Chain A
Amino acid sequence: MQNLRCINKEDWNSTLKRLLVSHLIYATTENNSHLDYELITEADVNRISYNRPKPVTPLKSFFLPVSENVTATNSHGKPRIIIGTPNCDTEGLGILDEMYLDKDFKDIFYKSKRENTILISADCFGILEHCHCLSYGIKPYSNGIADLSILEKGGMMIFRILSTKGEQFLNTLTAVVIPEDKNIVEFIEEKHSSTESLLKEANKGLPDYKRTGSLVSEAKKEIWKKYSAKCVSCGACATICPTCTCFLLIDKPGFEKIKQLDACQYPGFERVAGGEDGLAELPQRFRNRYMCKYVWKPERFNSVACTGCGRCIEACIGKINKNELFMELA
C-alpha cells in the first residue's frame, strides 16, 4: 500500500481545475468513439476518459513535435500534466530518452519538455483489436518511465507511484491519501491479469520480441516484396509509431534549423551525392523499418524499439498488417 494513493473522483476533478491555473493539462477524452489527448479546460475535466486503450496520437508528439525550430530560444512554458497514456506509449519513451538524452549529445529541447512534464499513465482495462504489447514484453500498465499510473474504481481514483517526481506531486495535493481498503490491491491485480489474459488470447501464436529479430533478418526477399506491394510510402506507420524518431534538419534564414520528423519509408531517405541510394527500391525501404526495429536498434539500445501498440497496423492505408507478416514468418 506504500506505493498507492487515492482520492475521491470529485476531489480529483476539483484538484485538476485548480491545477489548470498553473499547468497545461492534456488528457485522454473520447470523441466519436475515438480516444485522443485533448488540452483540458475547466469544462472538460469530467470528460476525461481513464483506463481505455489507446489514444490515436502517440505520446512522442508531446516531446518530438512534427516540426520544431531547434535554434530558437528554448522557452520552458507552463509545466504540463499528461493524463491517460497507455504503457505501450510510456515504454516508447524509453528509447527516445536513450537517443535524445544520450551522454554525448543532449537535445535540450527534448530534455526540458521531459523535465517540464508530469506523466500520469493509465492502466489499460481492456484492449483494442491490434494491441500486442504483452507479446513484446510490455505490460498493459506502467511500472516506470511514467511518474504515476492512474486507475478509476467507482468514484475513486487510485494512483500507483512510479517515480519520486510523481510522489512529490501527489504530496502537494491535499485530498490525496494512502488507501486503507485492502481490496484495492486485489482490484488492481485483477484488472492487470484480466487485461493480460485478453492480450494473450488475442495474440496466440504471435512470435515474441526476442524471436522477431532472427525472423526478420532471415526473411526471404519474397516476403518483403509481398508485404510491400500495397505500400504507398506515405510514412504513416512511422509518423504514428511511438518509437520512430527519425528527422531532417531544414535550413531557414539566419542559420536557423527546423527539425522536421522524417521517415525511412520516404524515397531518398538514404540517398547520397551522386545518386547512390541503398533504399531506392520500395521493398528495401519497407524491410528497413523492420530491420531497424527488430534487429539493429535492439543491438544498440536497452529499450525496445517496438512496444506492440499496433498503431502502424491501424494507420496503414494499404492495410498492411505486420502481425500477419510475423505469423507468416513464424
Chain B
Amino acid sequence: MNTDGNIYKPIKAKLTEVIEESPLIKTFVLVPEKEFSFKTGQFIELSVDSIGEAPFTPSSSPVITDKLEVTVMKTGYVTEYMHELKPGAYMGIRGPFGRGYPVEKFFGKEVLILGGGCGLAPIRSLLYALEHYKDKILKVILCYGSKTPSDCIYKPLFNRLNSIDKFEAYRTVDKADEEWNESVGVATVLLDKVKVNIENSVAVICGPPIMMKFGTKRILEMGYRDEQVYLSMEKNMSCGLGKCGHCMMGKYFVCKDGPVFTYNEIKDQPDIWN
C-alpha cells in the first residue's frame, strides 16, 4: 500500500456499486485510487469520512486486484453510516492487515468450512481462492448457517459452488419459512451430513462468537486435531498494526498475529470466545 510510509493514512477508494444481500447486509464494491491487493483472510480498516473506521475482511477474490468487495452487516455506529452510502462516494482503506488463510497449506487436502451469519464474507473470498487453486485441492465442503432464509447471503453462490467439480455447499437456517426446503437447525447440524477424510483435511470456522465456540467443539469431537482447525477471530480493533492494544488476546495482537489462528495456537489464551 502506497501512503508515503505513513501506516495510519488511508488510501481513498471509490464506491462503484452497492449490492443488497439481506435486509441488514450490503456488499460494497470499491475501486482503490492506488494499487491495492490482499491475501484471503487478511482484513482492512474501512473508513467513512469523518465518522469512523472498522475492520472488515474483503469478500472478493484475492486474485482480482483492480477492485475489491466488502460485505458489511449493519450492527452499530459506523456500519449504519456505511449502509447510507451511495455509489460515487469515497471511502478510506488502510491495510491489508494480519495473517490470512494459509491456502498453500491446504493443497493436497480436503477443506471443510463452517460458517455462520456475516462470517460468510471472509469465507467467500477463501472459496474464490480455493476455486483458483482447484487443481491442487482435493475437496471443498461448505456448511453455512443463518438465522432465517431472508438472512442468507450470496444466494447465487450456492448454486454455482454446487456446479463446480470438487465443491459441495450446504445451508441451514435456525428458523425456516414455508418455501425453505433445505436443512433446519444451527450450522453444526450440517456436519452430520458431510463425508470427509478427517486425517487428510483441515477445518475452517468463521462466524459469530457463539458459533465459533460450539462449532470448534463439534469439529474437535469429529476427530480433528487442534492444529487442523483454523479460526478467524474477532476482537475490538483500532489500528490494525499491533500498536493500539485494543485487540489483545493474551500475548497475541489479533490484528497482526491473526486474525486467522489455528486452535492449537490460541487454545491456552484467555477469553478467546468473547
Contact = CB atoms under 8 A, between A and B. Distances in A.
B245 interface: yes
B208 A274 contact: yes
A276 B250 contact: no
A270 B239 CA distance: 13
Given A249-B238, A255-B10, A108 B76 contact: no
Contact of B49 (A255, A269, A273): A255
A272 B235 contact: yes
Nearest to B52: A251
B243 A247 contact: yes
Contacts of B156: none
B92 interface: yes
B178 interface: no
Contacts of A71: 6, 8-10
Interface in A225-251: 245-251
Contacts of B12: 255
Contacts of B79: 273
A106 B242 CA distance: 11
Most B Cβ at <10 Å: residue of A249, A262, A295, A297? A249
A277 B209 CA distance: 11
Q: Classify the secondary structure of A's interface with B.
A: loop
Given A272-B234, A296-B251, A251 B47 contact: yes
A259 B238 CA distance: 10
A70 B50 contact: no
A255 B10 CA distance: 7
Contact of B50 (A251, A277, A295, A300): A251
Interface stretch (A42-50, A80-88, A96-104, A202-210): A96-104
B271 interface: yes
Contacts of A300: 251
B251 A273 contact: no
A270 B236 contact: yes
Contacts, number: 107
Interface in B197-251: 208-209, 234-236, 238-239, 241-246, 248, 250-251
Nearest to B48: A251
Contact of A107 (B238, B243, B274): B243
A65 interface: no
A278 interface: yes
Contacts of B248: 292, 296
A105 B271 contact: no
Contacts of B54: 273
Interface in A187-220: none
A277 B236 CA distance: 9
Interface string A107-138: 11000000000000000000000000000000
Contacts of B73: 273
B231 to A, nearest CB: 15
Interface string B1-25: 0000111111010000000000000
Nearest to B97: A105
B246 A253 contact: no
A248 B52 CA distance: 11
Interface in B250-274: 250-251, 256, 270-271, 274
B59 to A, nearest CB: 17
11 contacts: A70-B6, A105-B241, A246-B246, A247-B238, A248-B238, A249-B244, A251-B53, A262-B245, A269-B246, A270-B236, A274-B209
8 closest residue pairs by CB, A with B: A246-B245, A70-B8, A299-B251, A273-B75, A253-B50, A255-B92, A105-B241, A278-B271
